[in-house]
């Protein structure tokens, strides 16, 4: 399965759509439906819909459509209907005009002081005529479905880019782990030699042989030092986490949360490595590791 980013944008629209009722009486009634979908990273799936009044009834269907494809991310869906009637004005039908006239007469019977409808009022009310808009349900789901597919393609492309960057960081981290491994035996041997030199100076021995007890003490000190600076376990766990991250990137799918956990574990091991550091070179390796891991954390936060 591919790796998906949670960041993406897509839009879609249909062609002019005539009303589904009284089309013959209102041949100029037409509209264009547009849908935009934006998504950014989020711990969970957070859907927001910004729909005109005539499309609100379809929000549940839209939600089901999106939850079938998206698992994480803050997603905003916008839809709008543009009137494409000739001249940008929908011509009111005769039936609508008769209905408006009857409603006006009824209102004036109860409210004699009410003003009469103007042409602008009639056109505005005609804009709210259900026959102009028709039922946009099938068109909305069709356009939203195409926009969703485009969004998934965009998120997949971004996910592939993130996965490639993560793989490059994995290779760099493996190189640093390989560099750190041989440093530990060298440090232990250097420290053992220092202990022996100090015992020689303390006992005033210059070229003679150290007593066996002194050599044993130096060996014990070197052993304690080796235990204190031993990072073999940390390096083993680092390699294990790197292997698991690589496996997840190859597997794809919903791996973001798992990757985020592994990044935390990498950071923990790198911190321990730095705290046990007994040489400048090992300190440098630990710092370089933490820089790379922090860069990986930023990238992983965008993976679904």
Residues 23 and 26: their CA atoms lie apart, in Å, by 5
The better pLDDT of the pair 242, 95 is held by: 242
Span 149-155, average pLDDT: 95
What local confidence, expressed as pLDDT, does residue 159 receive? 95
What local confidence, expressed as pLDDT, does residue 293 receive? 95
What the block records as the tokens of 274 is 């730095």
Question: Is the model's pLDDT at 131 over the cut of 50?
Answer: no
Span 212-232, average pLDDT: 63
Span 233-256, average pLDDT: 91
pLDDT-wise least confident of 34-48, 83-97, 156-170:
83-97
Question: Is the model's pLDDT at 1 over the cut of 60?
Answer: yes
What local confidence, expressed as pLDDT, does residue 215 receive? 60
CA distances from 268 to 4, 43, 177, 192, 279 (A): 26, 22, 15, 29, 20
Pick the CATH number of 158-301 from 1.10.10, 1.20.140, 1.10.1760, 1.10.3470: 1.20.140
pLDDT-wise least confident of 85-89, 137-141, 221-225, 286-290:
85-89
What local confidence, expressed as pLDDT, does residue 172 receive? 95
What local confidence, expressed as pLDDT, does residue 210 receive? 55
What the block records as the tokens of 294 is 């922090």
Q: DSSP 3-state assignment of 50?
A: strand
Q: What percent of the chain has pLDDT over 70?
A: 71
Question: Is the model's pLDDT at 156 over the cut of 90?
Answer: yes
Average pLDDT, the chain: 81
What local confidence, expressed as pLDDT, does residue 216 receive? 65
Candidates 49, 96, 98, 100; CA nearest to 75 is 49
What local confidence, expressed as pLDDT, does residue 158 receive? 95
pLDDT class of 28 with cuts at 50, 70, 90 = very low
pLDDT digits (tens, 9 = 90+) for 44-98: 999 999 998 888 899 999 999 999 999 999 999 999 987 655 555 667 778 888 8
Question: Is the model's pLDDT at 167 over the cut of 90?
Answer: yes
Residues 86 and 72: their CA atoms lie apart, in Å, by 43
CA distances from 57 to 53, 125, 140, 143, 262 (A): 8, 21, 11, 16, 43
């Amino acid at each position: 399965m591919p790796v998906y980013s949670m960041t993406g944008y897509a839009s879609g629209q249909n062609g002019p759509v005539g009303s589904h009722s009284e089309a013959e009486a209102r041949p100029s009634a037409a509209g264009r439906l547009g849908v935009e979908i934006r998504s950014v990273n989020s711990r969970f799936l957070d859907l927001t819909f910004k729909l005109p009044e005539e499309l609100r009834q379809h929000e549940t269907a839209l939600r089901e459509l999106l939850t079938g494809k998206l698992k994480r991310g803050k997603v905003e869906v916008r839809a709008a209907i543009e009137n494409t009637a000739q001249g940008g004005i929908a011509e009111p039908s005769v039936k609508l005009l008769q209905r408006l006239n009857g409603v006006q007469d009824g209102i004036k019977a109860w409210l004699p002081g009410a003003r009469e409808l103007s042409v602008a009022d009639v056109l505005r009310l005609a804009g709210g005529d259900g026959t102009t808009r028709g039922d946009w349900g099938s068109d909305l789901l069709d356009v939203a479905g195409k926009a969703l597919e485009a969004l998934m393609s965009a998120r997949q492309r971004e996910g592939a880019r993130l996965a490639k960057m993560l793989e490059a960081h994995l290779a760099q981290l493996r190189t640093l782990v390989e560099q750190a491994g041989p440093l530990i035996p060298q440090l232990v041997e250097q420290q053992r030699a220092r202990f022996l030199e100090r015992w020689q100076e303390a006992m005033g021995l210059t070229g003679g042989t150290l007593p066996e007890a002194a050599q044993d003490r130096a060996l014990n000190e070197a052993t304690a030092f080796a235990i204190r600076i031993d990072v073999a376990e940390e390096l083993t766990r680092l390699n294990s986490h790197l292997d698991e991250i690589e496996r997840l990137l190859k597997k794809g799918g919903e791996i973001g949360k798992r990757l985020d956990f592994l990044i935390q574990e990498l950071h923990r091991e790198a911190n321990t490595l730095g705290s046990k550091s007994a040489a400048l070179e090992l300190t440098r390796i630990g710092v370089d590791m933490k820089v790379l891991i922090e860069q990986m954390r930023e990238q992983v936060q965008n993976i679904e």
